[in-house]
Structure 1
């Protein structure tokens, strides 16, 4: 791929005029939109090459690099790109002989046991020999390894050239206590039967899990439905994935009895993601589904802080019996949406490229995410005007009721070209004035778009542009009150207070 053009004016993939972001701005927007797969306008390899070049431009600012990785893996909730960006930044830093902070940047990208091996695999695949700062960063992160984490992620740690076993042998993490020393020993070394039994006495969770795995399917079902089932589930850290993958297809009566033991202690998100599975295995008119729906209906009791988009995939995948509960829970999630003074114009890009999925594993598109974000803002701020657009603006979406999931049906289907600037200018003139304008788009305006987005509204009016594509070039930079962000993560709503040019999300 050709080197990134650093002239002030660049063009979108559709030929529209755009403004060049700073390398830090572009790396941030790329990361929060990163899929590590082909997108509508860019292959995965092109995106990775662009990330590496941006890393070379930004790597000298140690604090900024570390804060970026911490935020991506923490509040940003972006796991894979945190590791890929950390590897690229540290590689660029070592190439410039920049010491101090490299170990910390690597460690900040790792939270789960499978992520340490993933970082080592990423480095070895891209750059070959693994240097000491990378090994030390992975070793620091592996000091958080527990029996629970090992059992939960054991299958994923064995993928790639470097497994968790290999990683421990390569980086030599210093165990923080005798219990962790026994755990490292168990993972790395092969033991004869008697030695293994003795070692397992120091690892009660793994010992309990192995005892469960040794049972026949019939005995597993009996244990999971008996009086001591909850103690077994807790002591062996048995998850619903572990249980049902080991049992195969069950009779509905057995599935119901097992789900009844699991659901009361499952996390809210786990129930939400498995609602369809519970219904399919137990039936709509069953006690497990009644308990599950009651849990869904009360997210506040679970201590869960969802955003409306959390419910959309489940909503589209369940029968009608479950939808009222999801709708009610989605209403509760609106309490996290800010109340904005005055009037807000929300522009939602529904051009063809917005129909791209959020990821290869997701059933939701970028347009879904943009529409749900707009629904939430509109319902919490009834003076808002929400306008979908393509080549031209559509009729405003009617903001009424209290349910963002039902409101979503009013947005229409994605398709057509993109004129971001002309559409925003037209909507502002027709429905304005406004106190702020929010544009949710992949910023791929067409060559026939006659208005630069940054000039589409008065300069005194704040303009927030969310880029969901992460592509090169911005449409709204260059003036006061012009804020260009990326992605729609759980942190998105807090970014409405983002101060252009002076603060990053981790500084809010």
Structure 2
């Protein structure tokens, strides 16, 4: 009888996040914990790490130190991998603080180890917004003092040439920053781009502005001159300028600066005047303000069309959960359908899976307590529900389950509003993934679990009655080896709840839909590589 040559035999597949096959540790809640290799642990941590933020199971000090230790190790042992990872982390994964810290710590580690090269390229690659050169220097000097190595200076200088402009100076060079544009220029001495004849004048003006030298704005800097002209207008004459939106745009007037300049309310006329200068994120975050100001239905329809436009959604690179946050903050139902469409576009990478899929979504206290940053109101639990529900809605057949210690099915219909389904989720106590798998797995073709992986072990009932007391359950043993398990990791903690990387056990991470694209590859018998 054939042992291997069977119709059901599939080719082995491998995914990049790899862990040990036999658990050597424990999760924070006591289940068997699988340690990952350094690249895998750093990847999962970096795509969820806001730096300097406490999490439910890790304080910011220990979490940041673990992050630095991993970066230091890989910077020396596998610098080229890190040089591919960090630009992707900043651009495609859209993380800000983590790639900046990682690039600077990589320079420190390589310098201490006497390893040459990569530093300048690493630093330049992660600085993508005009305030980030100052962020990088503030981090370095606050941690390592004012002696700044050449790779950091040169990488920052390269970024300054790319990023500094008249409009960025007006938006980001403010007294609220410790490192002003002039301070950065003073320290790194960027060489102006010969293709930008105005840039030398801009650098000089930034220095004059920082040192409070009363110099006339150079003729080449037309945006700054236009802003100075507006600032010179008496307050009582400023509201009349709202009738000329082009004049506001030419002066680099953002909605934030307009509010202060008017020294009066941001009414419907003010919002309408500055709307053309507002980016996608600014519009998304001001829907309640638009309603409270009483903007007309015609203007609202224009805004809504932009919000729902797939090309604009893609360019905005908003995390999917941002649309849920905007929906909850908006005071009018006129935004509901555009936000539903925008959310769907932001989840375009979620595949339509054939067969039967079991989707388990973690609603435990650790997922509720943890927010994405100190300024965010969105818990991991709700973001996890967005991703898990999207998988369920697009699957041919799906069972959608929320779990903590107890677990319940979330009912939905095909084609139903994702935002409406999210209202059916609740808060649950504890975390027990094995019990949820045992109760709900019924010969499904795959299992998708969206969680921070910090589960309790799960226990079989003792003598057939009650919860616990019997043998410990392990997730890996509850799902047949020929059934794929896809663990979507939200926490980036050290130990995972199941093996990963091979044998139908795979772990993904990140706050966008991009990694979902790995599922069809793996199920087609192809290996999934790093997304960069």
TM-score norm. by structure 1 comes to 0.88
Gaps of 5+ in 1: 1-5
What is aligned with 1:477?
499
> Cα deviations across residues 362-415 of structure 1 (Å, max 9, x unaligned)?
12110110101112222222412211111232124324333111111122x223
Tell whether the 8 Å contact from 1:357 to 1:366 is kept in structure 2 after alignment. Answer: yes
More displaced 10-residue stretch of structure 1: 145-154 or 165-174: 145-154
Displacement after TM superposition at 1:331 (Å):
4.6
Whole-angstrom CA distance in 1 between matches of 2:209 and 2:412: 65
Structure 2 CA distance for partners of 1:255 and 1:469, relative to 1, 3 Å: same
SS of 2:450's partner is: strand
More displaced 10-residue stretch of structure 1: 17-26 or 462-471: 462-471
Structure 2 CA distance for partners of 1:492 and 1:270, relative to 1, 3 Å: farther
Matches within 5 A, 1:42-191: 42-59=58-75, 60-128=77-145, 129-144=147-162, 145-155=164-174, 159-160=177-178, 162-177=179-194, 178-189=197-208
Structure 2 CA distance for partners of 1:299 and 1:497, relative to 1, 3 Å: closer
Tell whether the 8 Å contact from 2:485 to 2:506 is kept in structure 1 after alignment. Answer: yes
> Cα deviations across residues 259-304 of structure 1 (Å, max 9, x unaligned)?
2223355333322211111111226x66543543444454557775
Alignment pair present for 1:457 and 2:471: no
Aligned to 1:30, which of 45, 51, 58?
Answer: 45
Aligned to 1:374, which of 361, 382, 388?
Answer: 388
SS of 1:189's partner is: helix
Tell whether the 8 Å contact from 2:46 to 2:98 is kept in structure 1 after alignment. Answer: yes
Tell whether the 8 Å contact from 1:399 to 1:407 is kept in structure 2 after alignment. Answer: no
TM-score norm. by structure 2 comes to 0.84
Whole-angstrom CA distance in 2 between matches of 1:94 and 1:485: 32
More displaced 10-residue stretch of structure 1: 241-250 or 116-125: 241-250
Structure 2 CA distance for partners of 1:333 and 1:23, relative to 1, 3 Å: closer
How many matched pairs? 487
SS of 2:423's partner is: helix
What is aligned with 2:529?
503
Matches within 5 A, 1:36-435: 36=51, 37-59=53-75, 60-128=77-145, 129-144=147-162, 145-155=164-174, 159-160=177-178, 162-177=179-194, 178-189=197-208, 196-197=215-216, 199-225=217-243, 229-250=244-265, 255-264=267-276, 266-282=278-294, 287-299=298-310, 308-322=320-334, 323-331=336-344, 333=346, 335-355=348-368, 356-411=370-425, 413-429=426-442, 432-434=443-445
Displacement after TM superposition at 1:202 (Å):
1.3
Alignment root-mean-square deviation, CA: 2.7
Tell whether the 8 Å contact from 2:319 to 2:511 is kept in structure 1 after alignment. Answer: no
SS of 2:385's partner is: helix
Whole-angstrom CA distance in 2 between matches of 1:373 and 1:462: 18
Whole-angstrom CA distance in 2 between matches of 1:375 and 1:245: 42
Structure number with the bigger relative contact order (C-alpha 8 A, sep ≥ 6) is 2
Displacement after TM superposition at 1:328 (Å):
4.5
Aligned to 1:441, which of 441, 451, 454?
Answer: 451
Whole-angstrom CA distance in 2 between matches of 1:320 and 1:184: 45
Whole-angstrom CA distance in 2 between matches of 1:502 and 1:102: 29
SS of 1:344's partner is: strand
Which of structure 1's runs of 4+ aligned residues deviate more than 6 A? 191-195, 498-502
